């Protein structure tokens, strides 16, 4: 009798969320917290990110990345499909104005943290289906290894050395597999690294960085009650036929944009169920193809002209903002037209350090029905001296990623898109 192949880790259900479809919103958020903790602590026989082998691999990669960033004839390419490709985009694109103005060269986290002094093209992203895949699923392109190879050839043309990071959760994406094959055939130019999730003297800083991410997770967990209240409002909006809209005048809005793009392929949601709009639109987004307004309208003005007039009491607007060490960050999303609309307004703010400017008389968003403020413990986070601004931005972005994921996950559970912990309305795009 033939032995049955074990089910891939990425296709298995997590026992921790087995009853999420019948849980209260706060319990749903707690279940998601427990799942997130497994990244650090491990899952069944799989090691967490603190595993010695993982740390040693990271320590080996850091000098490689640094050397490729310094060499004008070298580049780094991060590639993936779907969610993995969107993560590649978040890491690679120098779209954070506040970070680009910083001077940093110590920790090779991403293009945006070092772009101020490194050459602008030192980190590139590839996503199957091109920039359209940042907003909508492009599954046909994910199954094309030849397309993947051609995309890699274009972005690495003229380079004498390429560090290739292929991100594929199940280690099964043909688009990435084709690129990996191309790298293996040309090891004189390419150094391939595959990142997936199926079966030292430098370690101190890497461990500190990983511990800092866990501290960010803990800080978000402390606001579970308020987060679950916002998530429940989001769920009620979807349940009543309304929508969820993220608005931001800052770079953290890009996290909301990516979160919104994940909802159709993950939950079978309509493209209008969860959306995001940025004050500067594609100017802030920083994608390769530039302004794609003919395909997707994402500016705040687009929202005011096309969406706002039709919003009702069933719709929810979530304002995203950050706060730096000098006080409350800029929050120009106080437009009277937006705030006097029939939609419900809630606000979410993350600060790296205490929210010193917060007071009952100075709400983040006037007339907000709910406010969530998360303070990250700056004193407990790994931050390199003279580069505080960059590291704070990284941690704030990570917090927003967890928050937005919890909001939309719980919302779709409430809407009835989940049975037990299985997505029941997913279809091929």
pLDDT at 67: 86
The pLDDT tens digits for 274-319 are 999 998 898 888 788 888 988 999 999 999 999 999 999 999 999 9
Superfamily (CATH) of domain 52-195:
Glucose-6-phosphate isomerase like protein; domain 1 (3.40.50.10490)
Residues in the chain: 429
Is 341 or 206 the better-scoring residue by pLDDT?
341
Query: 350 phi and psi, to 5 degrees?
Result: -125, 135
Q: Is the pLDDT of residue 202 over 60?
A: no
Sequential DSSP letters for 90-131: HHH----HHHHTS---SS---HHHHTTTS-TTSEEEEETTGG
Q: Do domains 52-195 and 215-423 have the same CATH topology?
A: yes
Torsion of CA 125, 197, 392, 133, to 10 degrees: 30
Residue with tokens 């709400």: 363
Range of weakest confidence among 56-65, 106-115, 135-144, 323-332 = 106-115
The pLDDT tens digits for 395-413 are 999 999 999 999 999 999 9
The structural domains of the chain, with segments of one domain joined by +, span 52-195, 215-423
Q: Which residues of 282-312 are buried (b: 16+ CB within 10 A; e: fewer)?
A: bebbbbbeeebeeebbbbbebbeeebbeebe
**pLDDT tier, 113 (very low <50, low <70, confident <90, very high otherwise):** very low
pLDDT at 110: 43
Q: What is the mean pLDDT of residues 4-9?
A: 58
pLDDT at 77: 94
Task: From residue 247, give the alpha-carbon distance in Å to each of 132, 168, 321, 356, 397.
Answer: 20, 30, 9, 24, 15
pLDDT at 3: 43
d(CA 98, CA 105): 15
Classified by CATH at the fold level, domain 215-423 comes out as: Rossmann fold (3.40.50)
Q: Is the pLDDT of residue 4 over 80?
A: no
Q: Helical H runs in 240-304?
A: 253-267, 282-285, 300-302
Beta-sheet pairing, 316-324 with 327-328:
antiparallel
pLDDT at 71: 87
**pLDDT tier, 58 (very low <50, low <70, confident <90, very high otherwise):** confident
Q: Which two tokens stand for residue 13?
A: 């259900």
Q: Is the pTM here over 0.85, yes or no?
A: no
Q: Is the pLDDT of residue 365 over 70?
A: no
Instruction: For residue 254, give every residue at least 6 positions away whose Cβ sits within 8 Å of its Cβ, in sequence order, or none.
Output: 90, 95, 278, 284, 285
**pLDDT tier, 98 (very low <50, low <70, confident <90, very high otherwise):** very low
Range of weakest confidence among 24-33, 93-102, 116-125, 385-394 = 93-102
Is 417 or 391 the better-scoring residue by pLDDT?
417
Q: What is the mean pLDDT of residues 49-58?
A: 84
By the 8 A CB rule, do 346 and 338 touch?
no
The 3-state DSSP class for residue 302 equals helix
Percent of the chain with pLDDT over 90: 42
pLDDT at 156: 93
Q: What is the mean pLDDT of residues 314-338?
A: 74
Highest mean pLDDT among 227-231, 294-298, 376-380: 227-231
The mean pLDDT value of the chain amounts to 82
């Amino acid at each position: 009798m033939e032995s049955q192949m074990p089910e891939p880790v990425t296709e298995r259900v997590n026992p921790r969320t087995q009853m999420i479809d019948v849980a209260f919103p706060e319990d749903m958020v707690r279940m998601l917290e427990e799942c997130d903790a497994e990244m650090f602590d491990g899952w069944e026989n799989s090691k967490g990110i603190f595993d010695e082998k993982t740390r040693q691999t990271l320590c080996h990669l850091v000098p490689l990345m640094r050397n490729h960033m310094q060499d004008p004839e070298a580049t780094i390419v991060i590639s993936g499909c779907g969610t993995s490709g969107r993560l590649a985009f978040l890491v690679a694109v120098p779209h954070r104005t506040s970070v680009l103005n910083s001077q940093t060269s110590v920790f090779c986290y991403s293009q945006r943290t070092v772009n101020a002094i490194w050459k602008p093209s030192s980190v590139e992203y590839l996503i199957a289906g091109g920039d359209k895949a940042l907003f909508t699923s492009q599954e046909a392109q994910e199954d094309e290894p030849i397309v993947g190879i051609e995309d890699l050839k274009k972005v690495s043309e003229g380079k004498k050395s390429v560090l290739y990071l292929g991100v594929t959760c199940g280690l099964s994406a043909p688009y990435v597999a084709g690129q990996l094959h191309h790298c293996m055939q040309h090891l004189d130019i390419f150094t391939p690294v595959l990142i997936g999730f199926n079966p030292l003297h430098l370690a101190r800083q890497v461990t500190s960085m990983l511990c800092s991410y866990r501290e960010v997770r803990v800080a978000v967990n402390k606001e579970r009650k308020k987060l679950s209240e916002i998530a429940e409002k989001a769920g009620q909006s979807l349940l009543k036929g309304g929508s969820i809209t993220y608005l931001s005048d800052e770079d953290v809005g890009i996290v909301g944009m990516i979160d919104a793009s994940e909802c159709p392929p993950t939950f079978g949601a309509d493209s209008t169920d969860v959306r995001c709009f940025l004050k500067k639109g594609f100017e802030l987004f920083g994608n390769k193809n530039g302004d794609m307004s003919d395909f997707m309208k994402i500016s705040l003005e687009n929202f005011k002209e096309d969406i706002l007039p039709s919003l009702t009491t069933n719709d929810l607007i979530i304002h995203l903002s950050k706060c730096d060490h000098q006080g409350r960050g800029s929050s120009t999303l106080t437009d009277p037209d937006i705030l006097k609309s029939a939609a419900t307004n809630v606000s979410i703010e993350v600060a790296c350090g205490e929210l010193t400017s917060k007071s009952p008389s100075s709400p983040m968003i006037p007339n907000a029905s709910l406010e969530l403020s998360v303070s990250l413990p700056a004193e407990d986070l790994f931050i390199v001296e003279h580069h505080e601004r960059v590291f704070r931005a990284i941690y704030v972005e990570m917090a927003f990623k967890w928050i937005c994921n919890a909001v939309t996950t719980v919302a779709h559970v409430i809407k009835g898109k989940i049975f037990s912990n299985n997505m029941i309305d997913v279809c091929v795009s």
